[in-house]
Structure 1
């Protein structure tokens, strides 16, 4: 806590004025003129209060001592335990530029566009729960200075011959990259940090603890080497794009060197620890949590947006009725061909279902989060060290090794897909249920090659997607049992039977069509609930270092 020199009140950083403001006497001060005796400029660390969530173990630090009433990571409403410690000073900080009111407006604007969101995440009390948190980032600096030597070629055609000339392209390269950044906290998803990027590092200021006053900060638990290769790749790729666009090189087909770092003489000059501003809100629903984050400098927003199943089904029904009436007036498909059409649609639904479950499994295993993978590796290593110490204390020479979980090695994580894309898929499928150009093609295939063949191929596709879905479900803790595509398999098996024996009465075909459509609806509902798993996250469980280990 920073005391006002005038009245002794609590000073907090004021975003509009970018100064420390006293709420009692309204005096304001330059953040760089207000310091604690223990936090002098010669110190490499500063005094802070660490708040720890008793449920998930998440930690945030603050220069204030006021107890936090809820956890930003798991959404639990609880009084966080606290301890005073010394934290290593970051090199730089970007102060908050967007106020909490700006943040709420951006979130409400997003909610107006997302009509299928549950009412709980639109609640005004929840919107007031946005918390300003400074997240740790590693900021990398690269230099590229060398005599550039590349290969290029030009080709011309004369009659039936193509003549190619090869060139040695020489030049001087002098490039410098300042500010390529990656988050340094395993609690901050790589996908989220990328979604609210970029930050303008030109506005970074020298770090002073007083700027944190009134806000929280996440602790840094990832080393600078983790993302060094990713940052280097960005520098190399940007330089390569620039070289190809240069007037002197653009007229040649320049061959990309196998080793860009070697060709450009790319060197990492330094990596600084900085604090970047993020407005953070969490929404807990059972054993899942959804996040809404806003870039505290630019206002760019990212949110995990689950879907209300009743709202979506109602919306789909309202849209489907006029489409059904319109298509029914202009399109007629005989019952025997209609079986082929719905069988084809069922196969498409099965593919979409398998893709969604595969994405969820990848998220649950942290395959898209390099920082979380590193934290898991360090936690596993720490666990093994404790077992060795316990074994040595017990006089056992060889401790039992713990089974390591095999993780997929990833590079730069990909961004999450927007929720609207998944919903568009579902809406697209619902429209296909009634007809369209694709249905006409399928009907033609069914007529030419036999409806039984179409149904049989569709059944084979669904069976394959069923096993893919089952493999994904086995990796997802929140989802158990058989995939709902089992109902499509049963329905399509009956469709194959009816088609093969070529039953005469239309009632059999209409019955099969209704059976397949019902099974499709069951899977579509499961796709929506599965999307809600993708739009939320497992409750975090952190294993931070304790006490003076972070100092």
Structure 2
């Protein structure tokens, strides 16, 4: 499995000769032994190579591990995030939760090297202004949230993700339900369901199914940050792009990521199968997906992360470093909630009294 580099030549994984891009196959094809290596062709003509998933799950070569640059790695004892940054930097607190309980780690079990990354597009000044507005946009949050929350802990970082591609052939079977109605002697209509066997077949391609590999940012926030323009704007990995930035080392490994992606693909297939079922409702849907041409990429995506404290509790706000989309956690004002409940009760009592 060839190393993903920032150069335009790609070696054949079978014989070592230079593979060439073949539009008809949408892949790199060796002109000597005909070995096919999946890849993505970007608009500017550069390639971001896909890696065969089955081969990778067996073994990742040592020359595709590590960061290709001197980096320092620490692990937070509080949130368990693993941060990677420039060797000369001295870290005193965790960039993800603000805890001072961080310890240095040796590179035991060197991680798979990223194949590509998405550069930051949204500047820090804009992010800080957006977060200030975000503080004031939540009615149920305390009025003084923007004043009391600690806003000096904004960090730009690259988070690890896996992307997976696959082709799926999926036969399905189900019972399709068709509604019909009867009317009794009183003119009352009753709905019934007539069930009948149904079957079909879905054929589809999955492209860049995104699976977060971070544990430093809360899962719900990672899902809400999407979408990222992963296919269109990815650049081949270059350690120079990471200079001055914090990078989180993945803690959802390739095996876990592949399992997660399979579940996501199964769910999407199930929805496509449901769309094919005739009638008004269905039951007992059974799908039998068969996956082929499975490839993956390990990529780094840009996120601005703010960890703030309100009262005694820590919260996170995350901003998509490419699109500017913002999502976050915030405390609830129990004063506002209590007043709302009292007002609702007064209204209900007034309505009940009026009816009597």
Q: TM (normalized to structure 1)?
A: 0.43
Cα RMSD, aligned residues only: 3.9
Select the structure of larger CA radius of gyration.
Answer: 1
Contact 1:75 1:284 in 2 (8 A): no
In structure 1, distance between residues paired with 2:176 and 2:312 = 57
Pairing partner for 2:229 from 200, 206, 215 = 200
Pairing partner for 1:210 from 240, 244, 249 = 240
Pairing partner for 1:281 from 278, 302, 306 = 306
Partner residue in 2 for 1:190:
219
Instruction: Answer 1 or 2: which has greater helix percent.
Output: 1
Contact 2:228 2:322 in 1 (8 A): yes
In structure 1, distance between residues paired with 2:135 and 2:193 = 60
Unpaired stretches in structure 2, ≥5 consecutive residues: 1-45, 47-61, 185-189
Unpaired stretches in structure 1, ≥5 consecutive residues: 1-31, 33-40, 314-422, 448-551
| Matched position secondary structure for 2:176 | strand
Aligned length: 281
Question: Does the C-alpha gap of structure 1 residues 155 and 54 become closer, same or farther in structure 2, counting only changes over 3 Å?
Answer: closer
Partner residue in 1 for 2:136:
112
Partner residue in 2 for 1:4:
none
CA drift at 1:227? 5.2
Instruction: Answer 1 or 2: which has greater strand percent.
Output: 2
CA drift at 1:89? 0.6
Question: Does the C-alpha gap of structure 1 residues 245 and 119 become closer, same or farther in structure 2, counting only changes over 3 Å?
Answer: same
Question: Does the C-alpha gap of structure 1 residues 440 and 151 become closer, same or farther in structure 2, counting only changes over 3 Å?
Answer: closer
Contact 1:90 1:275 in 2 (8 A): yes
Pairing partner for 2:267 from 227, 234, 237 = 237
Question: Does the C-alpha gap of structure 1 residues 81 and 233 become closer, same or farther in structure 2, counting only changes over 3 Å?
Answer: closer
In structure 1, distance between residues paired with 2:86 and 2:238 = 11
Pairing partner for 1:75 from 80, 98, 109 = 98
Question: Does the C-alpha gap of structure 1 residues 77 and 228 become closer, same or farther in structure 2, counting only changes over 3 Å?
Answer: closer
Question: Does the C-alpha gap of structure 1 residues 49 and 175 become closer, same or farther in structure 2, counting only changes over 3 Å?
Answer: same
Q: Summarize the alignment of residues 239-278 of structure 1 with structure 2, pairs less than 5 Å apart.
A: 239-245=269-275, 249-250=277-278, 252-253=279-280, 255=282, 257-260=284-287, 262=288, 264-266=289-291, 269-278=294-303
Query: Are 2:114 and 1:90 equivalent residues in the alignment?
Result: yes
Pairing partner for 1:47 from 55, 66, 69 = 69
Q: Summarize the alignment of residues 7-46 of structure 1 with structure 2, pairs less than 5 Å apart.
A: 43-45=64-66, 46=68
Partner residue in 1 for 2:203:
174
Contact 1:63 1:213 in 2 (8 A): yes
| Matched position secondary structure for 1:113 | coil
Tell me: higher relative CO, structure 1 or 2? Use CA pairs within 8 A at least 6 residues apart: 2
| Matched position secondary structure for 2:266 | helix
| Matched position secondary structure for 1:105 | helix
Contact 1:137 1:183 in 2 (8 A): yes
Partner residue in 1 for 2:88:
65
CA drift at 1:150? 5.0
Contact 1:293 1:303 in 2 (8 A): yes
| Matched position secondary structure for 2:256 | coil
Q: TM (normalized to structure 2)?
A: 0.64
